[in-house]
Chains A and B, each alone.
Chain A
């Protein structure tokens, strides 16, 4: 319900060129299938030892040698406690559309489909086919993008997209590079290109306390917004620390940073500067 207007079904495409330190969907960064391990759910039953590659060992703790893992899913099937799960599934466009159709009764005039990720443009042909199929069904379409992608595809995607949810994570290009690996100039030029092609664009601005919580940044976003013909408002998305826990399931460390969580007042301030009025 936070992915565009009305009731929407969100399709997450795996694979993203960025590596944001605050990423709240780390399981969608890699384009490959991945094994998730929820240690707290593990019953030590040994079901996972079916693994043909010997990924799992049960000593004092249940440990994984992820270098051997092919994400075949055999251990996940065998795990009775759902402590092991596979993230990512290959689906045809028609299969996805039939899933989307299930919620069609709720879309009304403005609801519909949001393609998110990862970065949808990382699978440009699939994205195009999916959007075209949704359009054929009469569904409203939205694309949630980080803005870092090969601009050649925009010309094809814009006419198929009713609304872009476009991330402006930071306007300080050095800081942006440091925290996400992204190239600000590229994102901005894609944004301008999309705008010139007639895209409707809603800006999505993560707010990370101590990183990008400067008035200078807010004003820069406001300037960008004002320069867009297709500007359709901006959402300020406060950083949440709990997203850090997800990294653990992929075998990493909890990278949640409670000190990054902004105050509600700051969120309101940023929103006011960009949108020019108070949001409810």
Chain B
């Protein structure tokens, strides 16, 4: 059993042989394949199903899932419960009525596990009952009744595990824990992990893909109490955490899919400050890092909240795990993020609680409805503003203004489609949406208001417009400004013609713009200034949407790999790119235009007013294994993380990977089953990406962002 690393450093062995075998088999798709065998339950024969309301049908589906989903009890597992229906892996409620699946499901949220940990599902049931009391006779009754049905279904499924484990040798502790959690508050560390796991597993069984949130913070009091009592050892706690990670791989099933087989938005966040500003870092933080280091499990992409005072020991540990590759670890600069959330209007205690949506977009966990709208801003520039290169502008300012007008029109379009989803304003009343009771039970606000997750139930409701194609757009504007308006080397109309012709017959000019100008990502104030200005204007335009619907519209920057779909359709670019060539990822430079290395890329990125974008802007950095080798490399990587915080970055996902290794993985996938790479907000086992995605990762790796 050799868990792959990118630089030949052997991963340490800390867990017991049984746990390692469990990890090996789980990563080897054993459980993913099992899950795929049973796709869904059939509710067609449920009595009266044809006449039921959508909510009634949903409740019937959840009940049937709870009653009929296969149970899975793995050998030696320390945690019970499994999401065993294949259709859930396709982001659907795994129940069939007639021909198709019944309901889509929910993702891009981190649910509230803390309430269940401290008050138990019994506490949640009490809240539902008292809310029902309050809303009796109103149109909110049906949702609250559905909450009770869903809790009942959870009980049925939970009881099936209790019964199955009864008398099974070796599972006494599992059963003992389940007799308490999730219904009663967790009393021990093991119970707490079981509680989070089984709630997570139930939500996934019902098709949802929630994030985990701040696991080390949640588990800290249980760990400390048990260690003090002498009922837990650090090694035992590590085994339990390892099982949480291993069981989380139950959906990976190998094969080649577009974006890999492990993209289920189940992110973790570790370290950082609590509501009162105290550091939450504790031994569990390090146990989580131990597990990632030992197994390289990529299915729980983990983001470390760093700040200016983060302990040197933690930064070094993060660097140590990071350099084994796989891109499992990313970092937040919480100094900036908390400030940006406060600026946006969140109370300081609330801002300090932040986690993400299961990817990297920042949200207040367990309280937030979240979705994001990805836009290709390069397309907007090429198609709308420059009219497929038939438009003419007299000066840069009028071009830039016209572009901003187009951005504004785009955002207003988003707002009007959002507004169509309300039946009245003041207060905003959502039109009826598909049922989603299971996640609603784990989102603060829903039970209290008697409204589902999709109908304004959560405390905060957020739709985030995202800038895609940032660097390509900025570089296009910069090249136009320099070439046409400042150096006046060519007239606007003539230049447009060249771009329409995809640089044909204009190679000298193409080389000129690509070789002589210094683009975003090289710490050139002129180019970076356009980026800064644009993102600031974009954030202001987003702010202009607030208060005009039931949602807030904080902006973000992302492509999440969409640049791959976009690139064949985009025209040539003023900075020398020919049609069809690669485009930039997230807030990173256009591949090939950054020539000064990682520190210059970070400096350019950090010049942006990132605090105006409270959802986030992701920076991808790719490093060669040789740059992080030895004590010096470790120190350099740690320094890079520290510098990122000092300069005011937001979110950075460094990946240590070597294009040569990735190429050999393409040649011999069987030798690299466990090799994972960072794609964007998620990781993928490299060999489960399809060829196009693999090539994109390799190209990005070769194009720099290295030291």
Contacts and interface: CB of A to CB of B under 8 A. Distances in A.
Contact of A82 (B511, B646, B707): B511
B636 A6 contact: yes
Contacts of B707: 1
Interface stretch (A64-72, A89-97, A103-111): A103-111
A152 interface: no
A105 B646 contact: yes
A108 B644 CA distance: 11
A81 B630 contact: no
B317 to A, nearest CB: 15
A81 B511 contact: yes
B642 interface: yes
Contacts of B515: 41, 80-82
Contacts of B603: 102-103
The majority secondary structure among interface residues of chain A is: loop
A6 B599 contact: no
A184 B707 CA distance: 34
Interface string A96-136: 00000011011110110000000000000000000000000
Contact of A105 (B632, B633, B643): B643
B141 interface: no
Interface string B514-528: 011000000100000
Contacts of B523: 102
A81 B509 CA distance: 8
Contact of A108 (B508, B602, B639): B639
A6 B632 contact: yes
Contact of B639 (A41, A43, A47, A111): A111
A82 B518 CA distance: 13
B597 to A, nearest CB: 9
Contacts of A277: none
B512 interface: yes
B516 A80 contact: yes
Contacts of A5: 632, 635
Contacts of A6: 632, 635-636, 639
* Interface range on chain A (Cβ under 8 Å from partner): 20 to 34
B16 interface: no
Interface residues of B, number: 27
Nearest to A44: B508
Contacts of B635: 5-6, 108, 110-111
Contacts of B508: 43, 45, 47, 80-81
B646 A43 contact: no
The majority secondary structure among interface residues of chain B is: helix
B640 interface: yes
Contacts of A270: none
Interface in B637-655: 638-640, 642-643, 646-647
B629 interface: yes
B511 A105 contact: no
A220 to B, nearest CB: 25
Contacts of A80: 508-509, 511-512, 515-516
Contacts of A2: 632
B601 to A, nearest CB: 12
A1 B627 contact: yes
Nearest to A85: B515
Contacts of A41: 511, 515
B639 A7 contact: yes
Nearest to A279: B630
B1 interface: no
A108 B516 CA distance: 33
B168 interface: no
A80 B512 CA distance: 4
A97 to B, nearest CB: 16
B172 interface: no
B642 A106 contact: yes
Contacts of A107: 639, 643
Interface in A2-36: 2, 4-7
Interface string B610-623: 00000000000000
Contact of A103 (B9, B599, B629, B642): B599
Nearest to A106: B643
Given A81-B511, A110-B635, A105 B647 contact: yes
Nearest to A77: B516
A7 B621 CA distance: 15
B487 to A, nearest CB: 12
Contacts of A81: 508, 511-512, 515
Interface of A: 1-2, 4-7, 41, 43, 45, 47, 80-82, 102-103, 105-108, 110-111, 279-280
5 contacts: A1-B636, A5-B632, A80-B509, A106-B599, A111-B639
The 4 closest A-B pairs by CB, nearest first: A106-B643, A82-B515, A80-B512, A81-B511
Given A47-B508, A81-B511, A280-B630, 20 more contacts: A1-B632, A1-B636, A4-B632, A6-B635, A6-B639, A7-B639, A43-B507, A43-B511, A80-B515, A81-B508, A82-B515, A82-B516, A103-B643, A105-B647, A106-B639, A106-B642, A108-B635, A110-B639, A111-B635, A111-B636
